[in-house]
Amino acid sequence: MIDQGNLLIKNCSEIVTCSGFSAKKGKEMSDLKVIPNGALVIEGGIIKAVGKSKEISERFNGESYEVIDASGKSVLPGFVDSHTHFVFGGYRAEEFCWRLNGISYMDIMQRGGGILNTVKATRAASKKELFQEGLKRLDSMLSFGVTTVEGKSGYGLDCETEIKQLEVMEELDRTHPISIVKTFLGAHVLPEEYNKGKEDQFIDDIIIKVLPIVVERKLAEFCDVFCEKNVFSIEQSRRLLLEAKKRGMKVKLHADEIVPFGGAELAAELGAVSADHLLKASEKGIEKISQAGVIATLLPGTAFSLKEPYPKARTMIEKECAVALASDMNPGSCYTESIPLIFALATIYMDMTVEETVSALTINGAAALNREKTIGSIDVGKQGDIIILEFPSYHYIPYHLGVSCVEKVIKKGRIVFDKERKEQKYVRR
Ligand code: NIG
Ligand code: FE
C-alpha cells in the first residue's frame, strides 16, 4: 500500500469536481459542478474538504499538510480507464499494416492471427516479462492522468495462463500507484486446442475448471465474454455469465462490436455492470441498457483503429444512458494508452461535449467498475485521486490535440507523477 498522504491544494483556477456518488445519466453528464478559485484537502489519502480557496485556508492550517499552489491550474479527479487488455505478450504491428491494406480484423482472426497470435506470445512469456511490460504501460497511463485501470485476462485461454495474467495484475497493483481492477475474460475466443464448433465444450470447461479457481482465489471481480458472431453466441455468453453471477462475480460484455448481435439486450437481461463497444448496438438494445442502468462503455479508439463507424453516443445520451469512455488498450484492435486521443475522438467524431467526455472518463468510468462510491469525483470521503493540469481550464484537454495536459497526478494524497521533475517523474509504491 502507498503511504497515505496529507495534502492541501490551494488557489486552483477551478476544481472540476464531477461531484456525485452514482453514475451520471443522459443530461446529468453535462453538469461537472465546477468550483472557481478552489482548494481541497486530503488527509490519510481521503478527501477531507473541498471548497473556495478562501474558506479552506481559513479552516485548515497549511503547516500540517504538504501544500501545492495550483494557481492558474485546473484540477480534476483522476481518470478511470474502465476497459483495457494491458497485460499481454508480443505485438501485432504487422497485422496493423495488413489492416491498413484492407484486410479486416475478423478475417485476420479467422486465419488464426489476431487474438490467437497474442495468446501464443502470452503463453510463452514469463511472469517477469509480463510484469515488466505491464509496468511500462502503467507508467504511460499514469502520465495521461489515469489513476484506476481495469485489466482483462483473455490471452491465456487455458487455466494456467489465464491465472498467470491475473496474478501479474495482482502484483502490478501492489507495485504501481495505479489501482487495477481485474476482469476474467476466459471466453475471449476459441483456443486452437478446440476445433471450430466446440465452443459449447470450451464454455463448459471454463465453467467447470477455471471459473471456480478464479472465484476461490479472488483473482477477478468481473467476468467478461466476447459475445460476437463467429466468436461466442448469445446462448453461450448467457450460460457463462449466469454461472459467474451465481458464484458472486459481476459481469460485463464485449457487445455488438462487429455486427448487431443482441449483446446489449443480453447485458440488460443479465443486469451487467457495463456493456462495452456497442458500435452496432440496436436502438432497442440501447433503450434496454438505459432502463436496466447498465453503463454504456464506449471505446472510440477501437472504432478509429478498425476504421469502423463510431458508436452512437448522442442517441445513448438522449436515451438517458450513462456513458463511460475507455481506451480498450490492447495489442490488436487498439494499441494506445492515450486519454487525449480518446478525448479527441469522443468530442470531434462522436459529438460528445467536453463536459460529457469528462464525466465519461471519471465518475461514469468509476461506475463501470462498481466504484462510484469511492472514486471518480472530488467529494468529501472519496479517495484522494486527483490530476492537476498545466492549464487553467478543462477546455484545454481536447483543445491541446492529442497531447497530455496533465502536470501532476496525485494518488491517495501523494504526488506519484510530476511532469516538471527531471528525475523521478514517476513514483512507485
Ligand atoms: O476489445 N474484441 C475483442 N477483444 C479486444 C481485442 C483484442 C485483440 O485484438 O487482441 C477488443 O477489441
Ligand atoms: Fe476489449
Segment 273-299, tens digit of pLDDT:
999 999 999 999 999 999 999 999 999
- For atom 8 of ligand 1, the residue with the nearest CA is 332
Helices (H), 310-412: 313-318, 339-344, 354-361, 363-368, 396-399
CB 50 within 8 Å of CB 35? yes
What distance in Å separates the CA atoms of residue 302 and residue 279, rounded to the nearest whole number?
10
CB 234 within 8 Å of CB 203? no
- Of ligand 1's atoms, which has the minimum distance to the CA of residue 118? 10
- Sign of CA pseudo-dihedral 158, 149, 250, 306: negative
CB 275 within 8 Å of CB 297? yes
- Of ligand 1's atoms, which has the minimum distance to the CA of residue 83? 1
- For atom 1 of ligand 1, the residue with the nearest CA is 328
How many A from CA of 85 to the centre of ligand 2?
6
First to last CA, the chain: 7
pTM for the structure as a whole: 0.97
What distance in Å separates the CA atoms of residue 412 and residue 179, rounded to the nearest whole number?
10
Nearest to 99 by CA among 310, 311, 332: 332
Indicate if ligand 1 lies below 6 Å from the C-beta of 161.
no
State the pLDDT at residue 2: 41
How many A from CA of 17 to the centre of ligand 1?
33
- Of ligand 1's atoms, which has the minimum distance to the CA of residue 334? 12
**Which ligand neighbours the alpha carbon of 96 most closely?**
1
Indicate if ligand 1 lies below 6 Å from the C-beta of 162.
no
Q: Which amino acid is at 420?
A: E
- For atom 3 of ligand 1, the residue with the nearest CA is 226
The burial of 100, by beta-carbon neighbours within 10 Å (0-12 exposed, 13-18 middle, 19 or more buried), is given as exposed
- Of ligand 1's atoms, which has the minimum distance to the CA of residue 257? 2
Indicate if ligand 1 lies below 6 Å from the C-beta of 85.
yes
State the pLDDT at residue 4: 59
Could you give phi then psi for residue 141, rounded to 5 degrees?
Answer: -60, -40
Per DSSP, the chain holds a count of helices (H) and strands (E) of 17, 16
Probe residue for ligand 1, chosen from 83, 165, 226 as the CB with the greatest number of ligand atoms within 8 Å: 226
How many A from CA of 293 to the centre of ligand 1?
24
How many A from CA of 91 to the centre of ligand 2?
16
Task: List pLDDT tens digits, range 57-79.
Answer: 999 987 889 999 999 999 999 99
What distance in Å separates the CA atoms of residue 131 and residue 291, rounded to the nearest whole number?
40
Which pairs from 200-205 meet CB under 8 Å and 24+ separation?
A: 200/236, 203/232, 203/236, 203/239, 203/240
Indicate if ligand 1 lies below 6 Å from the C-beta of 114.
yes
Indicate if ligand 1 lies below 6 Å from the C-beta of 252.
no
CB 126 within 8 Å of CB 87? no
Could you give phi then psi for residue 9, rounded to 5 degrees?
Answer: -110, 115
Domains of the chain, first to last: 2-77+377-424 (2.30.40.10), 80-367 (3.20.20.140)
**Which ligand neighbours the alpha carbon of 252 most closely?**
2
How many A from CA of 277 to the centre of ligand 2?
8
**Which ligand neighbours the alpha carbon of 305 most closely?**
1
The C-alpha cell at 390 is 498545466
The C-alpha cell at 277 is 463497444
Q: Which amino acid is at 145?
A: G
What distance in Å separates the CA atoms of residue 244 and residue 382, rounded to the nearest whole number?
29
Probe residue for ligand 1, chosen from 98, 110, 188 as the CB with the greatest number of ligand atoms within 8 Å: 188
Nearest to 210 by CA among 127, 153, 276, 172: 153
Indicate if ligand 1 lies below 6 Å from the C-beta of 118.
yes
Indicate if ligand 1 lies below 6 Å from the C-beta of 226.
yes
pLDDT under 50 in the chain at which residues? 1-2
Indicate if ligand 1 lies below 6 Å from the C-beta of 199.
no
Probe residue for ligand 1, chosen from 330, 335, 342 as the CB with the greatest number of ligand atoms within 8 Å: 330
How many A from CA of 73 to the centre of ligand 2?
34
